[in-house]
C-alpha cells in the first residue's frame, strides 16, 4: 500500500496535469497505429495502455500537494521584496522588473525576458530568461541595487553568443523549450500548458502579451507576460 502511494505521489510530482501524465504513457507506436492523440489518451485513462492512476485521484493528490506547496511558499516568500524601497525613474527596465516581482514570486504571472546586449568581453549575446526562476535562484537585490547587471546565461531558457555562434537551451520548472520548423522558438508553460511564441511578427499566444522596453541600458529588451491559468 505504501509503495502504491509512493508511486502515485511521484506521478503527481512529476506531471503538471493529468493530460501530461496520460501523454507519458503513449508511445510513438500507439500514435502510429491509432492516428489520434485524444483516442490514445482515452485508452490510457480507461486502463488499456498503462494509466495506473485515475483522474480523480490524480487531481485530488495534486490539490493536496499544491496546498502544501502554497503554505510553504507563503512562509518562504521574502517579507520585503528585493525591489522595495528603491527608485528606478532613470531605469525603465528595472522599473518593469520591480512591477512584476511580486506577481512572479507568487506564481500568478510568468515572465520571459529577452535581452540582447554585449558581455564583459564585448561579445554580442542574446537570450530568453525565466524571470521567476532567476528570482528563486539568485539574490535580485544586487540587480535592483545595480551592483550586478542582468544578462542572459547559457543556463537560461535560451542563450546565443553571436561571436562564437554558441547556442544553448535549458528548460526550467516553469517552461519547456520547443523549437519547431513552422513556428520557430516556443516556450510552453508547465502550469497551464499554453505556449508563448516569441516571434515578433506573430501573436505571443493565449493570455500572453509582448512588451518592448525602451531603454538605453541594453541593445534590446522585450518582456513576455503570461498570466498563468491552471489547465482543468
Write the pLDDT tens digit of every residue in 141-189. Answer: 999 999 999 999 999 999 999 999 989 999 999 999 998 777 789 999 9
Q: Please say if the pLDDT value at position 7 is more than 70.
A: no
What is the reported pLDDT for 232? Answer: 43
What is the reported pLDDT for 228? Answer: 85
Q: Please say if the pLDDT value at position 32 is more than 80.
A: no
Strands 220-227, 195-197: pairing is unpaired
209, three cell numbers: 502579451
Half-sphere exposure of 170 toward its Cβ, with a 13 Å CA cutoff?
14
What is the reported pLDDT for 1? Answer: 45
What is the reported pLDDT for 230? Answer: 57
Does this model's pTM top 0.75? My answer is: no
Closest CA to 77 of 58, 59, 102: 102
* Dihedral, 56, 40, 24, 12 alpha carbons, nearest 10: 0
Closest CA to 78 of 102, 49, 58, 62: 102
Amino acid at each position: 500500500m505504501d509503495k502504491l502511494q509512493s508511486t502515485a505521489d511521484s506521478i503527481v510530482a512529476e506531471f503538471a496535469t493529468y493530460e501530461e501524465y496520460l501523454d507519458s504513457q503513449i508511445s510513438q507506436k500507439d500514435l502510429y497505429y491509432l492516428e489520434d492523440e485524444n483516442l490514445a489518451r482515452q485508452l490510457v485513462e480507461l486502463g488499456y495502455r498503462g494509466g495506473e492512476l485515475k483522474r480523480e485521484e490524480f487531481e485530488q493528490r495534486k490539490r493536496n500537494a499544491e496546498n502544501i506547496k502554497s503554505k510553504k511558499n507563503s512562509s518562504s516568500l521574502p517579507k520585503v521584496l528585493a525591489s522595495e524601497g528603491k527608485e528606478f525613474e532613470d531605469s525603465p527596465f528595472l522599473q518593469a522588473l520591480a512591477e512584476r516581482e511580486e506577481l512572479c514570486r507568487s506564481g500568478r504571472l510568468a515572465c520571459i525576458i529577452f535581452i540582447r546586449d554585449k558581455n564583459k568581453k564585448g561579445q554580442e549575446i542574446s537570450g530568453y530568461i525565466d524571470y521567476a526562476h532567476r528570482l528563486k535562484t539568485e539574490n535580485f537585490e544586487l540587480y535592483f541595487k545595480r551592483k550586478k547587471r542582468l544578462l542572459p546565461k547559457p543556463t537560461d531558457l535560451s542563450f546565443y553568443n553571436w561571436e562564437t555562434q554558441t547556442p544553448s537551451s535549458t528548460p526550467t520548472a516553469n517552461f519547456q523549450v520547443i523549437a519547431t520548423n513552422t513556428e520557430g522558438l516556443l516556450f510552453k508553460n508547465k502550469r497551464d500548458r499554453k505556449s508563448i511564441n516569441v516571434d515578433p511578427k506573430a501573436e505571443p499566444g493565449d493570455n500572453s502579451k509582448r512588451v518592448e522596453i525602451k531603454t538605453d541600458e541594453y541593445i534590446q529588451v522585450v518582456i513576455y507576460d503570461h498570466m498563468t491559468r491552471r489547465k482543468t
